[in-house]
Structure formats: structure tokens, C-alpha cells
Amino acid sequence: MPLIATPQTMHFPDALPLQSGAVIRDYQLAFETYGRLDAVRSNAVLVCHALNASHHVAGVYAGQDRSEGWWDNMIGPGKPVDTERFFVICVNNLGSCFGSTGPMHRHPDTGAVYGADFPVVTVEDWVDAQARLLDRLGIGQLAAVLGGSLGGMQALSWTLQYPERVRHAVVVASAPNLTAENIAFNEVARRAIVTDPDFHGGHFYRHGVIPKRGLRIARMIGHITYLSDDVMNEKFGRQLRAGLALKYSTQDVEFQIESYLRYQGDKFSDYFDANTYLLITRALDYFDPARAHDGSLARALARASARFLLVSFSTDWRFAPRRSREIVRALLDNCRSVSYAEIDAPHGHDAFLLDDARYMGVMRSYFDGIAKELP
Amino acid sequence: MPLIATPQTMHFPDALPLQSGAVIRDYQLAFETYGRLDAVRSNAVLVCHALNASHHVAGVYAGQDRSEGWWDNMIGPGKPVDTERFFVICVNNLGSCFGSTGPMHRHPDTGAVYGADFPVVTVEDWVDAQARLLDRLGIGQLAAVLGGSLGGMQALSWTLQYPERVRHAVVVASAPNLTAENIAFNEVARRAIVTDPDFHGGHFYRHGVIPKRGLRIARMIGHITYLSDDVMNEKFGRQLRAGLALKYSTQDVEFQIESYLRYQGDKFSDYFDANTYLLITRALDYFDPARAHDGSLARALARASARFLLVSFSTDWRFAPRRSREIVRALLDNCRSVSYAEIDAPHGHDAFLLDDARYMGVMRSYFDGIAKELP
């Protein structure tokens, strides 16, 4: 009997002040919950999503067998984050294109579609919006906040913005900020979108077009950085498409890897919003809790009082293990409780979404421990 | 007194058969030579160029002080490849956009600009074309063939296509073939160019436009892969442009690395030909001497009789040291003479073009040894 997910939305009339100085009001957030909140409201786990995911983190939609949530291997009845014990919440972030208010929606004052005028949102803004949603659900303190990649940045930020509201933070395949190389890849992807003639300065909706060329390139770049060199060689290597002889063409597909990337790019450009892509990559670029502390991550993390689990993957070159170790070290400098697992997995950054017995074991064990603390 | 370089061209009326089965005839090659060929024609060194370089490898053009060749730190009077002792030749490859026949030239039969109809050329084709040019210069055997990156692939291929014509091969920052990840980056760059509306299927010349958007993206991707994560962090890190406060914008430059990449992309799109970019990246993809030997590089290299120097750089993730070691191992399996230097340098793939005392020392010492063998 699969877990049935039911998407919900919540409307927020009041203005949310954003880091940029702008405000957003009359917005809505899409979210899903799984399991039951216990009588003393102590078993809530907030899951934060990464770049291209949504609030649909677990279960399937009724009557749609193949609609599993993006972390359904991790979250559900009897799974590492056990929805028989925890009340799990996942919120689609502001600016996304999966149900929460985003660039394709209308500004409440002008009635015009936001487009490129949607305010720039940051990790901190998302956390503030999530906190207001939790307020409305009557959840004061989280048993845990959990996220991978950009989701891990939100989990980390929760412990700094609302330290008293987080008992545990589980930060997977993440980093305390982006490196220059990370920003560089984001920038190339953004330039591909922004310079697509169908982008129209971000107001492509009113022209009835979509900057698909740019989105395809952005996704292809992203995909390369999610995978490890090893797993690419193992999955595709230098295999020719369908094992045929060389065509000697600069524009046709010759190698399997080309075919795979083009397919991923095409698929993505059919469902993802270009302005959302810009907003979310920018939120990644901006995240840097140490910035306000002269670059000292240790001082930045002094505010955190949660207990932490950090997980990284050996072949993840986008958010390499050394980046997780920086967080571990800064927490230890503050004498915080922190567990750290560095998983030897071949799949690169993607590993955080995949089944790996050791990874799943670490997560299960940590959440078992959290469950034991529940009243 | 600087070395003065004088570009030359040579016309080839006869058909050159290409690996694809096509032929090219009535083509010209641009080249430069430095130093003097000795009486017994024993001191010639052929330098092969990489993706975006030309035949102008050393010296300056008369009256143009800042026109140094792309490897001027390596080649010249008293330099590691000493033009007082060696006669150095560098040939612009077919399909390039710096003087040799390429996509922007006219087909000799039809009089139409080649554009996308320029035949696909491979590393092996370039080597064949270089060999014909050496024939015309009266050079039977090379003291050495030298190249970095794609140039190193040509140097390696020389030892397989014309083993008796090469005494030494110096292969720097290269690989026996591209990995799936390398091909993937090339493919994204090509898609950016090909899907630029100004590409017009490769016949943009006749439309009076240039697919600059695509070229910019291609170059930005390339640039990221030439540099190491370390050197990017050191040079740019998370520095904001001009040290200003955050602008909170998805389209404006915020970080120095963005500014740098945009500048590199703009500059490149002003001088490089889009069809040439496709051709040269495809030549990189195709190179794989082991392909004809069931994937055995050792068997592929059995034909080589040259003595070898291989050089790699510790932080080069585009052509990582392990790829050079594969060549070293395959040569040793054939009991060939091979020296190998793995230089601990922070600059990534770009290191092969930069001054590094240990690197320069290795090169100087190896070429000194070659010079001592000269009559």
C-alpha cells in the first residue's frame, strides 16, 4: 500500500521582507505533509528541496502509480525517515515553478505577470517563508530539518536563523557556500538562458515563447556537474550511439553521452521555468553565512544550537567532501554535537538521491536516534 | 632583440584523403618557422597546436611588440626549445580560422563558402597534412614533434602514422582519448553554437551574422575546464565585482568570476569561427588510437618507435595525470623509451602554457638531450 501524497497550498497575505530589501505579499506556498503530527507537536521533520525539485518529496499521487516523490527512497513508512514516526513537511520554495508563487504568477498590485521582476530570493528568505508556514501549522520546534545540496544550505540556515526551533539538522552533499567554479557553472547556465532570443529580458510569457535553447544548455551543464567522471565513463564511456560506425559529423549525435545529455536538456526545457532557474542558481551563489562574519564560518555557526549530521560523497566534485568538512570543523570549533559520514560512492553529487546501503544505513540510524528522543 | 616571426602559406593542389572518406584539395596551410634547418636536415622540431591557437607559436611580428606567439615562453633563442639549435615549424591546422583553409573559405569546385560543408577533419588528417608540408620543406625526419593538449594528441599520432619520421615525441597535458565527461563538455559547447539562431545551420556567413551567443557560451565552458578549482578560488574566490555591496540581481554581474568569464566569452566570439570550433572539438572527440585495436592502447602504440617525454599537471582535471600515465604504461608495455614528469602545479590544464620552473626545467633538459644527439 503506497503512501498517498496530497498537495496543499497556503496563502500568505502579509508582506514577507526579503534580504534584498524588497517584500513579497499575497503569495502562496505549495507543500505536502506525510504522517501525523503527534499530540505535543514534537515529531515534525522539515525537508528542504534543491534546485529542480518540488514539495512532492515522497509517496505517489492517487491513481498515478509512477509519480513517486523525488526522495521517496528516503522518506515514507518504514524508510530511513519513517513517516510512521515523523510528521514530514516539504514546502515548494518561493520563486519555484511547481505551485508556490513564482515568476509566472501575477503581481498582486499590478496584475502583471512577474517575469524578470520577481524579487530575488535567498536561502534565508526561503527559510523565513518556511517558518511562517510552520507557524500556521502550529509547529514551534522541528525534530529535524533535512536537506541535500541547496536543501542542505537551507537546513544549515535554519539552525542560524531559528536556532531554538531546530533540534537536529541533517545536511547532505552540501557546502557552506559556492566556490568560484560552482558560481562559474551557474553563470554560464544563466548566460545561456538570458542570451536566448526567446528570453525577452525575462518577459517571454507575454511573447508566448519559452527560451528552450538556453534551458537545454543550462540543464546539460548541470547534468555534467551532478555526475562523477567515473560514473560517466562507466555508464557511457566512448560508446557510439547504437554501436554504429562513425558518421563524421559535427552536428549529429555520435556518442551515447551526447544523446543522453540532449535528452535530459529537452526534457528539462519542457517543464522548468527559465526565470526560476535564474532565481534558484542565484540563491545558491548568494548563500554564504560566513560573509557577515568576515569570512569566519566558525563565528557564523556559533548561533547554531542544533545537533548535526553531515553527509558527503567521495566522488561529488560539485559539493566535495572537503566542503562538508569545513562545516564539521566550524561546528566542532563551537563544541557543537556533530556526526559526519563521508560515503565512498561512485555517483558524484547525484549520490544523495540514490540508494546506497551505507548512506541509507547512516540516515536510518540517525533518524532512529531522533525518534527515540520523542515523548 | 626579439625573435621576429614571418607567417608563410603553402598551397596544396592535390587531394588529401581524409579519414571520413571525403577528400580536400586546393587547400593552403599557414605556417611559421624559426631558426635554421641544418645542412643534414636533422634539427627540425614540429610543434602542433591545440584548440584555439595558430601557427604563430613563438616570436613577435615585426613592428608589433605585443604579438608574442602562444608558446613564446617555451620556444625561441635560449628558451627550452632553443631556436639557436632547432629549426621549429608550426602549422595552422586544416579547418582552423587563422590562415589555413577552413570553413570560411570557398570550395574550389563550386566557389561557394564551405560553411558547415567543410569536411570533418581528424587528428590523423592534420598529421597527414603536416607531413606533406614537411615533404615540401625537404624534411624527412623530425628531431622531435611537440604538442600540448590536442597538440599532444597530434604528437602521439605522428609516432603511429609516421614512426620512422619521428625521433622524439613530447606529449604535454594530453590524453590517449577523451573521457565521457570531456565529450560532454564539448557537446554542450557545440549545442550552444548550433542552436544559436545566428548559426543558420553553419551557413551564417551568407547571412552576414555570427553566432556570437553560442561562441560566448562555448568559450565560458572551455575556460572553466582549463582552470583548476584551486586557482579559480585563489584568483576570484567569492569576490564581488569592484568590492561593492550585493545588487540582488539574476542578470547583472555580482561576482568577479562572472565578469571574467563574460569578458573571455566576448573576446573569443570576436575572433573565433563557429564552424572551426565544431570541427576542432570533434577532432578531439574522435581521437582514440586504441579504437582500431579493441581498446588496447598498448597494442595501438606498438607501432611507435620514437622516444617519449610525457608531462602532466597535478591539478589538470581536463586531461588529468592518470590519462598521461595510461600512455606511459602502454609505451612501457612495448618496452619503449619514455620519460614522465608529473608537475605539481596549481593552474589546471592551462599550466602547460604557463611558466613553472620545474616544468620549464624538464622541457629544457629533454630538448638539451635531443640537441646533443644532433650531428
Judge whether B294 is closer than 8 Å to chain A, CB to CB: no
Residue A185 is placed in which grid cell?
557553472
Residue B125 pLDDT > 90: yes
Judge whether B191 is closer than 8 Å to chain A, CB to CB: yes
Alpha-carbon radius of gyration of chain A: 21
How far is residue A89's CA from residue A358's CA, in Å, rounded to a whole number?
A: 25
Measure A101 CA to nearest chain B CA, in Å. Answer: 18
Kindly list the residues from chain B whose CB atom is less than 8 angstroms away from the CB atom of residue A187: 220, 255, 257-258, 261-262
Contact criterion met (CB < 8 Å) for A181 and B233: yes
How far is residue B97's CA from residue A132's CA, in Å, rounded to a whole number?
A: 59
How far is residue B337's CA from residue B342's CA, in Å, rounded to a whole number?
A: 17
Residue B245: pLDDT band with limits 50, 70, 90:
confident
Kindly list the residues from chain B whose CB atom is less than 8 angstroms away from the CB atom of residue A249: 120, 282
Residue A58 pLDDT > 90: yes
Contact criterion met (CB < 8 Å) for A188 and B286: no
Q: Which residue of A has its CA nearest to B227?
A: A181
Question: Do A93 and A46 form a contact (C-beta atoms < 8 A)?
Answer: no
CA B106 to the chain's CA centroid: 24
Q: Which of these is catalytic: A42, A54, A100, A149? A: A149
At A310, is the secondary structure helix, strand, or coil?
Answer: strand
Residue among B119, B180, B279 minimizing CB distance to A236: B180
Judge whether B240 is closer than 8 Å to chain A, CB to CB: no
How far is residue A313's CA from residue A321's CA, in Å, rounded to a whole number?
A: 6
The values of phi and psi at residue B46, to 5°, are -95, 130
Per-residue model confidence (pLDDT) at position A276: 98
> Which amino acid makes up residue A370?
I
How far is residue A351's CA from residue A314's CA, in Å, rounded to a whole number?
A: 10
Per-residue model confidence (pLDDT) at position B241: 87
How far is residue A174's CA from residue A155's CA, in Å, rounded to a whole number?
A: 10
pLDDT digit string (tens) for B251-294? Answer: 999 999 999 999 999 999 999 999 999 999 999 999 999 999 99
Contact criterion met (CB < 8 Å) for A232 and B180: yes
Judge whether B24 is closer than 8 Å to chain A, CB to CB: no
Query: What is the CB-side half-sphere exposure of residue B113 using CA atoms within 13 A?
Result: 13
Kindly list the residues from chain A whose CB atom is less than 8 angstroms away from the CB atom of residue B282: 249-250
A316 tagged catalytic: yes
Residue B105 is placed in which grid cell?
573559405
Contact criterion met (CB < 8 Å) for A179 and B232: yes
Q: How far apart are the first and last CA of chain A?
A: 28
Q: Which of A1, A29, A32, A35 is nearest to A16 (CA)?
A: A29
Under 8 Å CB pairs connecting chains A and B tally to: 167
- CB contacts under 8 A, B 99-138 vs A, are 116, 119-120
Judge whether A246 is closer than 8 Å to chain B, CB to CB: yes
Q: Which of B98, B101, B97, B30 is nearest to B273 (CA)?
A: B97
pLDDT digit string (tens) for B323-372? Answer: 999 999 999 999 999 999 999 999 999 999 999 999 999 999 999 999 99
Residue among A188, A246, A249 minimizing CB distance to B221: A188
Kindly list the residues from chain A whose CB atom is less than 8 angstroms away from the CB atom of residue B291: 238
Residue B243 pLDDT > 80: no
**Where does residue B375 rank: exposed (0-12), middle (13-18), buried (19+ CB within 10 A)?**
exposed
Measure B4 CA to nearest chain A CA, in Å. Answer: 37
Residue A246 is placed in which grid cell?
562513425
Per-residue model confidence (pLDDT) at position A2: 83
Any idea what the Cα angle at residue A106 is, between residues A101 and A110, rounded to 5°? 135
Provide the mean pLDDT of chain B: 96
Kindly list the residues from chain A whose CB atom is less than 8 angstroms away from the CB atom of residue B237: 180
Which ipTM score applies to this complex? 0.95
Percent of chain B with pLDDT over 90: 97
Count the neighbouring beta carbons within 10 Å of the beta carbon of residue A337. Answer: 12
Residue among A188, A202, A281 minimizing CB distance to B217: A188
Residue A110 is placed in which grid cell?
499590478
Alpha-carbon distances of A337 from A308, A333, B35, B171, B220, rounded to whole Å: 6, 11, 68, 51, 42
The values of phi and psi at residue B60, to 5°, are -130, 160
Measure B348 CA to nearest chain A CA, in Å. Answer: 12
How far is residue B366's CA from residue B181's CA, in Å, rounded to a whole number?
A: 32
Residue among A197, A237, A261 minimizing CB distance to B187: A261
The DSSP output letter for B224 is: H
Judge whether B248 is closer than 8 Å to chain A, CB to CB: yes
Alpha-carbon distances of B68 from A108, B58, B77, B96, rounded to whole Å: 59, 6, 14, 19
Contact criterion met (CB < 8 Å) for A257 and B188: no
Q: Which of A181, A209, A278, A280 to mutate to test the interface with B (most CBs of B within 10 A)?
A: A181
Measure B200 CA to nearest chain A CA, in Å. Answer: 12
> Which amino acid makes up residue B165?
R
Percent of chain A with pLDDT over 90: 97
Residue A242 pLDDT > 80: no
Q: Which residue of A has its CA nearest to B191?
A: A217
pLDDT digit string (tens) for A76-87? Answer: 999 999 999 999
Q: Which of A210, A112, A169 is nearest to A306 (CA)?
A: A169
Q: Which of these is catalytic: B54, B149, B157, B324? A: B149
Per-residue model confidence (pLDDT) at position A215: 98
Q: Which of these is catalytic: A49, A54, A349, A356? A: A349
Question: Do A351 and A315 form a contact (C-beta atoms < 8 A)?
Answer: yes
A374: left (phi over 0), alpha (psi -120 to 50) or beta: beta
Question: Do A216 and A264 form a contact (C-beta atoms < 8 A)?
Answer: no
How far is residue B53's CA from residue B126's CA, in Å, rounded to a whole number?
A: 14
Measure B324 CA to nearest chain A CA, in Å. Answer: 16
Residue among B177, B179, B233 minimizing CB distance to A179: B233
Judge whether B194 is closer than 8 Å to chain A, CB to CB: yes
Residue B1 pLDDT > 90: no
The predicted model gives A21-28 an average pLDDT of: 97
Residue among A177, A180, A238 minimizing CB distance to B288: A238
How far is residue A345's CA from residue A67's CA, in Å, rounded to a whole number?
A: 26
Q: Which of B287, B345, B341, B288 is nearest to B316 (CA)?
A: B345
Determine if residue B219 is labeled as part of a ligand binding site: yes
How far is residue B352's CA from residue B228's CA, in Å, rounded to a whole number?
A: 13
Judge whether B28 is closer than 8 Å to chain A, CB to CB: no
How far is residue B113's CA from residue A329's CA, in Å, rounded to a whole number?
A: 61
Q: Which residue of B has its CA nearest to A21?
A: B248
Per-residue model confidence (pLDDT) at position A65: 86
Contact criterion met (CB < 8 Å) for A184 and B257: yes
> Which amino acid makes up residue B332?
L
Judge whether A300 is closer than 8 Å to chain B, CB to CB: no
Strand residues in chain B grouped as ranges (E): 4-5, 8-12, 16-17, 23-24, 27-34, 44-48, 60-61, 75-76, 81-82, 87-91, 142-148, 166-172, 307-313, 338-343
Kindly list the residues from chain A whose CB atom is less than 8 angstroms away from the CB atom of residue B213: 195-196
Q: Which residue of B has its CA nearest to A19?
A: B248
Residue A245: pLDDT band with limits 50, 70, 90:
confident
Going by C-beta distance under 8 Å and a sequence separation of 6 or more, which residues neighbour residue B196? Answer: A213, B211, B212, B213, B214, B215, B274
Question: Do A92 and A86 form a contact (C-beta atoms < 8 A)?
Answer: no
Kindly list the residues from chain A whose CB atom is less than 8 angstroms away from the CB atom of residue B235: 180
Residue A54 pLDDT > 80: yes
> Which amino acid makes up residue A369?
G
Residue A351: pLDDT band with limits 50, 70, 90:
very high
How far is residue B255's CA from residue B159's CA, in Å, rounded to a whole number?
A: 46
pLDDT digit string (tens) for B31-84? Answer: 999 999 999 999 999 999 999 899 999 999 999 989 999 999 999 999 999 999
Q: Which of B315, B325, B324 is nearest to B350 (CA)?
A: B315
The predicted model gives A22-35 an average pLDDT of: 97
Provide the mean pLDDT of chain A: 96
Q: Which of B343, B370, B338, B371 is nearest to B357 (CA)?
A: B343
Judge whether A252 is closer than 8 Å to chain B, CB to CB: no
Per-residue model confidence (pLDDT) at position A241: 87
Judge whether A231 is closer than 8 Å to chain B, CB to CB: no
Q: Which residue of B has its CA nearest to A18?
A: B248
pLDDT digit string (tens) for A352-362? Answer: 999 999 999 99
Kindly list the residues from chain B whose CB atom is less than 8 angstroms away from the CB atom of residue A291: 238
Q: Which of these is catalytic: B49, B168, B223, B349? A: B349
Q: Which residues pair with B169 in a beta bridge?
A: B145, B308
Residue B207: pLDDT band with limits 50, 70, 90:
very high
Residue where the block lists cell 501549522 = A137
The predicted model gives A109-118 an average pLDDT of: 95
How far is residue B156's CA from residue A70's CA, in Å, rounded to a whole number?
A: 47
Q: Dihedral through CA A105, CA A108, CA A110, CA A114, nearest 10? A: -30
Summarize chain B as % helix, strand, coil (round to 5): 45, 20, 40
A312 tagged catalytic: no
Determine if residue A350 is labeled as part of a ligand binding site: yes
